[in-house]
Amino acid sequence: MTPRKKIQIIIDFTMTAMLPVLMAYELVGEAAHEWVGLAMVLLFILHHILNHKWHQNLLKGHYSGARILGTVIDMLLCVVMVCLPVSGIMMSKHVFVFRPISSSGTSLARTMHLIASYWGFILMSVHLGLHWSMLIGVARKIIRITEASRIRTIILRAVAVLITAYGIYAFRHREIGSYLLLKNQFVFFDFDEPLILFFADYLAIMGLFVCVGYYASKMFQRLASKRKSMNGTAS
């Protein structure tokens, strides 16, 4: 594995770990939220610099269903990652406290930040799922797994089912849909709730949408393979 690839993996892992922390902004404190948010934006920029070939190849090659889905997700993520720092700076009380902003601007920024935060959380999770096969391949190399194991596969799939089921429950329990659709513009936090339970719920929701991205990618790959097979038979 090249040093560049190692850096990319470390950045991606760090950004993933930051997601549930950012979603717990009232529980971890405003100052911590702002600094972690700033770090996330900087890492996102570095992520794109290291993956500059993606930008260079946007208008090149064939666009399969999987590539279209991935590109749409990535484009939406770019929009979200512009909205988040802009609205965050407008509301800042610690990192960018020096900026002048009116109360009406703060109200608009709060709404923008809310919807961008929750959509960003979902989109990043789906994005992670779209690249899950590659991440699993890297993990196998790191821990030196060279042979397939039916038992290991069954166990991992069972764990994925449990995480997905818990993720669906947590998604409904936390009313994430109401924030995604702006039906609720104020996020409720239970300050008596152990932080570990909050993180467990949000990690499960991440797992749910990682599975959505992973199996969507698999579905498109199978459709492309089937189409290629049918075209080969027809010729």
d(CA 159, CA 152): 11
Residue 6 reports pLDDT greater than 90: no
- The answer to the question of residue 19 being in a domain is yes
CB 218 within 8 A of CB 174: no
Higher-confidence residue: 232 or 216? 216
- The answer to the question of residue 235 being in a domain is no
The secondary structure of residue 193, as a DSSP letter, is S
The pLDDT, as a whole number, for residue 46 is 92
Please give the share of the chain, as a percent, with pLDDT higher than 70: 95
- The answer to the question of residue 58 being in a domain is no
Q: Which domain holds residue 159?
A: 3-52+63-229
The pLDDT, as a whole number, for residue 102 is 58
The pLDDT, as a whole number, for residue 232 is 64
Q: Is 40 exposed, middle or buried (0-12, 13-18, 19+ CB in 10 A)?
A: buried
Tokens 């992670």 sit at which residue? Answer: 128
pTM: 0.87
- Spell out the residues 6+ positions from residue 20 whose beta carbon is closer than 8 angstroms to its own: 198, 199, 202, 203, 206
Residue 19 reports pLDDT greater than 80: yes
> Comparing 94-98, 119-123, 179-183, which segment has the lowest mean pLDDT?
94-98
The pLDDT, as a whole number, for residue 135 is 79
- The answer to the question of residue 163 being in a domain is yes
- The answer to the question of residue 114 being in a domain is yes
The pLDDT, as a whole number, for residue 153 is 85
d(CA 134, CA 146): 15
Tokens 């599975």 sit at which residue? Answer: 211
* Domains: count for the chain: 1
Mean pLDDT of the chain: 87
The pLDDT, as a whole number, for residue 220 is 87
- The answer to the question of residue 57 being in a domain is no
pLDDT, one tens digit per residue, over 51-95 is 888 888 888 888 888 889 999 999 999 999 999 999 998 888 888
Mean pLDDT along residues 120-127: 94
Mean pLDDT along residues 189-214: 92
Residue 179 reports pLDDT greater than 90: yes
Please give the share of the chain, as a percent, with pLDDT higher than 90: 45
- The answer to the question of residue 130 being in a domain is yes
d(CA 230, CA 105): 57
The pLDDT, as a whole number, for residue 125 is 94
Give the phi and the psi of residue 78 in degrees, each rounded to 5: -65, -40
Amino acid at 189: F
Position 234 confidence tier, pLDDT thresholds 50, 70, 90: low
- The answer to the question of residue 234 being in a domain is no
